[in-house]
Chains A and B, each alone.
Chain A
Amino acid sequence: MSLPALHVVRPKTVDEAVRVLAQHGPQAMILAGGTDLLPNLQMRLYAPQVLVALKEISGLRGARAAKDGALRIGALTTLSELLAEPVVRQKYAVLAKAAATVAGPLQRNMATLGGNLCLETRCRWYNQSHFWRQSLGGCLKKDGTVCHVAPGGKRCWAVWSGDTAPALLALDAEIEIAGPAGERRIPLESLYRNDGMNRIALQAGEILTAVLLPAAKAGWRGVYNKLRLRNSIDYPLAGVAVAMDVDGGGVCRDVRVAISAVNPAPLLVHQAGETLIGKKYSRELIERVAHAAIQRGKPLTTSGSTPVYRREMLELYTRRGLEEVWGGRTHSADRND
């Protein structure tokens, strides 16, 4: 399959990119690593007239310390480059672990961190060829009026299927956005709209340029558990990121739990903090957070496996994640070697 006819613009600077994006408005789309966008374009999920390829913009790759001590990672840093950063592996375990589970090594050589944070939401009624979708009359998200996941509903449940976003939510990451009105810096959490149709809160002409990991989160214990049928290539069917700051006495000083692939957005499980901060390891408290995770996560038939099973694994992976960072127990849930 080929791509639809369009123009490819290759700006050299962020300003130039913003200008082109603003000029073309909704007719333009951003191309970073291409591993999500290009297959989607081959399926005719979008019909942009212009692709703005960010690849040639310098200065958007690599990690370095920002003024406030945060680690600033350029949005065009590939996931392989991210994984090769010693500081990420040593200080931000949950991110390293999550990034290592994204697709497979070839995709990670191309996919960028910024792209992974701006992934299109996915649904098995949507991520299909033009012919396939047409044979069904389309769906709410594209070319149709009916949601095949929740017929009768007016909301799109296409699912957030990224792995690094929950990890970064668990680290209270912020993002830098460049746009026609200049730069802004917002918490990553506020990027996500939890709407399958309109997943992220980037305005016309805006580009995600960097991710900032707060210094305060450096050294937190972290783990990411991902449900998938194959240990490579696959998008998540459920994902749980857990990050915790534990003091010498085993008391939880601070904690974040974020879930993915079960809602149209990656979501923090806010009860984790309320339940665990200031407490010593307790199986019962962990159960409570795991339970909170499945109150928050709403898996539907957007994806493979079954909603029931994904929900159960969401609970189990939350429990296992917390057991690992807090109780020191590890499970080989995700790897068979």
Chain B
Amino acid sequence: MHRELIHLTVNGERYEVAVPPQKLLLDVLREDLGLTGAKRGCDDSSCGACTVLVDGLPVLACAAIASCHQEAQITTVEGLAAGGELTPVQVAYGEAGGSQCGFCTPGFMMTIHALLAQNPNPSDAEIREALSSNLCRCTGYMQIYEAIRLAMKRAQQPAEARS
């Protein structure tokens, strides 16, 4: 199959890979870059498990062609915990029960981090709306909201009060 050399910037690192020009961003991330965090849960762009950030905006990596994203800054779930330290949302997710099977979690992580970056204090209704493209079959979403609220609360407290 015909391949093309493309450049991608993922989690701040520059990659050069030869892939078929039509290859989906999700498949390049998972198969060529070894970033298997983003998941494939459906085949019709309707579950959100593959969510990544493109220039800070959460999008579906299964509905994006990799070769069309060579100029973009791509962030995957692997890029969130910079230097290995979990983000407040990642920590709160564990405490509040945000993950059960965890398969949707990478997608939710991206949507939630993008939401809080854009709006640090979203209302409950805004949270529900922002998360409404991401399906979770385990949690019934309640403990995901719980985790977000917990992370928001901590973000509003001064750093020393947290430790």
A adjacent to B, CB under 8 Å: yes
In the complex, which residue of chain A has the Cβ closest to the Cβ of B64?
A: A34
Residue-wise, chain A 1-38 has the 8 Å CB interface mask toward B (1 for contact) of 11111111010000000000000000000010111001
Q: Which residues of A contact B48 (CB under 8 A)?
A: 104, 106
Asked if A105 is an interface residue, CB under 8 A from chain B, the answer is yes
- Which residues of chain B are near A6, meaning CB under 8 Å? 21-22
- Across-interface contacts of A31 in B (CB, < 8 A): 65, 68
Q: A2-B27, A5-B1 are in contact. Are A110 and B60 (CB under 8 A)?
A: yes
A78, closest chain B residue (CB): B57
Does B36 have its Cβ within 8 Å of any Cβ on chain A?
Answer: no
**CB of A226, distance to nearest CB on chain B (Å):** 14
- Per-residue CB contact flags for chain B residues 21-62 toward chain A (1 = under 8 Å, else 0) read 111100100000000000000011110100100000111101
Give A35 to B58 CA distance when docked, in angstroms.
14
**Least Cβ distance of A70 to chain B in Å?**
28
Interface residues of A in 28-82 (CB under 8 A from B): 31, 33-35, 38-39, 42-43, 51, 53, 55-56, 80
**Minimum Cβ distance to chain B for residue A199 (Å):** 19
Q: Using Cβ atoms and an 8 Å threshold, which residues of chain A touch B129?
A: 105
Please indicate the chain A residues that have their CB under 8 angstroms from the CB of B119 in the complex. Answer: none
CB contacts (< 8 Å) of A107 on chain B: these are 45, 60, 63, 133
Contact A337 B65 (CB under 8 A): no
| Residue of A with least CB distance to B45 | A39
Asked if A106 and B65 make an inter-chain contact with CB atoms under 8 angstroms apart, the answer reads no
B132 is an interface residue with CB less than 8 A from chain A: yes
Whether the Cβ atoms of A8 and B21 lie closer than 8 Å is yes
Q: Beyond the given A3-B24, A6-B22, A51-B65, please list 8 additional residue pairs across the A-B interface where CB-CB is below 8 A.
A: A5-B20, A8-B21, A31-B65, A35-B45, A104-B48, A106-B51, A106-B60, A106-B134
Which B residues are within 8 Å of any A CB, using their own CB? 1-2, 20-24, 27, 43-46, 48, 51, 57-60, 62-65, 67-68, 71, 111, 125, 128-130, 132-134
